[in-house]
Amino acid sequence: MTESLLFRGAKILGADSADILVQDGRIAEVGAGLSAAGARVVDADGLVALPGLVDLHTHLREPGFEASETVLSGTRAAAAGGFTAVFAMPNTSPVADSAGVVEQELALGEVAGYATVQPIGAVTVGQKGERLAELGAMASSRANVRVFSDDGFCVWDPLIMRRALEYVKAFDGVIAQHAQDPRLTEGAQLNEGAVSAELGLAGWPAVAEESIIARDILLAEHVGSRLHVCHLSTAGSVELIRWAKKRGVAVTAEVTPHHLLLTDELARGYDARFKVNPPLRTQEDVLAVREGLADGTIDIVATDHAPHPSEAKACEWQAAANGMVGLESALRVVHQAMVQTGLLDWTDVARVMSSAPARIGSLAGHGTPIAAGQPAEFTLYDAAAQGVFAEADLHGQSTNSPYLGRDLPGKVLWTVHRGYATLADGVLVELGS
């Protein structure tokens, strides 16, 4: 399926312009005035060339919840957003807690062809928090799982969390924790604060996140194992990660695009598109997580792409499902929240959205530089574009985006995966046609 492609005049990481020649699934040359007989020539003048984006936190829903998303539809959404690899969360049915299920997810991604699908294994059987899942079997399976998470549920039992950290240390795995104390968030509907009080909605306090992060930092330090904190959302959480890194603890953390931009004020209209877990926080939290991402305390941006059918969102707030789709909008939101504000440049974006997530997830062949000899995994982005985000920009099976009707900068025009285009001139390529 590979093709010969010649992109002329792309700005590598937003800096110097160069031609990029793709042949046989790899980047053959990068330089000025390149030519190649038979190559498809693309005018990329002024487009920002970034390594293919890597999402460490995607919900693809298959198997079991195909009404919300499938591996095919989810990876099409990924390609439209500039992603060439996604890590699939295990809250499927059956739960991805065995070698058989993770190998099935891997195979579905290979057949779809739009992005590398790297399964994440559950920490506990059925994500029930009672006993460890088959961590070793998943690690040694064809899926080569290195990230384990009960995302959607906190590994609340400290003994089970300790044992999980000890187990994965043997093969340099990482436990990705959904930091939420369940007792402190029973019935929670919105960030605990002025807005939740005014709306009469049960509050989700910041301490419910921060107390689990603090505990797990100490456990990871004690065990000497790797901990990753999912969708960090509060100013206090940023300070805890900063403290842990100064101590030399092997902890990494992610922030979502929506926690970089949106606040709990949006809940005032009871629009369930803005209901998410962890909840949207305050403007002070938004500024703190931006600063944390800018100074390296927070390692990566991850989408927490969480598709739901329309009936799960078109209802009263209390009954609505948590979650937002985010693959197609992620780069544009990071552009607005971090690049346009001067907090990150395009080299930084490549780090937090490509190379660092690939490194944390031990995913070879992704997050690599745009240089001769490297795998042809990259995206071309029109940073000068501007437009209203609309349903036409969504390519998955669900439309629960918080950005519909919002003006966002930029547009992903090309995504190249394994040497072939999955997105060309802003249009998804129909693979196999």
DSSP assignment letter at 336: I
Alpha-carbon distance 136 to 72, whole Å? 28
Decide: 143 and 105 in contact? Cβ < 8 Å.
Answer: yes
Please list, in sequence order, all residues whose beta carbon lies within 8 angstroms of the beta carbon of residue 125, skipping any fewer than 6 positions away.
95, 97, 131, 132, 133
Express the helix, strand and coil content of the chain in percent, nearest 5 each: 35, 25, 45
What is the spatial distance between Cα 133 and Cα 131, in angstroms, rounded to a whole number?
Answer: 7
**Helix, coil or strand: residue 428:** strand
Q: Are 15 and 410 in contact (CB under 8 A)?
A: no
The active-site residue out of 304, 345, 407, 425 is: 304
CA-CA distance, 102 to 143, in Å (whole number)? 6
Rounded CA separation 235/170 (Å): 33
How far is residue 323's CA from residue 220's CA, in Å, rounded to a whole number? 28
Burial label for 65, CB within 10 Å (0-12, 13-18, 19+), is: middle
Burial bucket for residue 184 (CB in 10 Å: 0-12, 13-18, 19+): middle
3-state secondary structure of 120: coil
Residue 7 sits at φ, ψ, to 5 deg, of: -95, 120
DSSP letters spanning 354-391: IIHHHHHTT-TTSS--SSTTSB--EEEEEEEEEEE--G
Is residue 19 among the annotated active site residues? Answer: no
Picking from 284, 191, 283, 297, the residue whose alpha carbon sits closest to that of residue 238 is 297
In the three-class reduction of DSSP (H, G, I as helix; E, B as strand; rest coil), residue 309 is classed as coil
Tokens (6 digits) for 402? 């918080």
Look up tokens 């985006």; give the residue. Answer: 401
Q: Report the catalytic residues.
A: 304
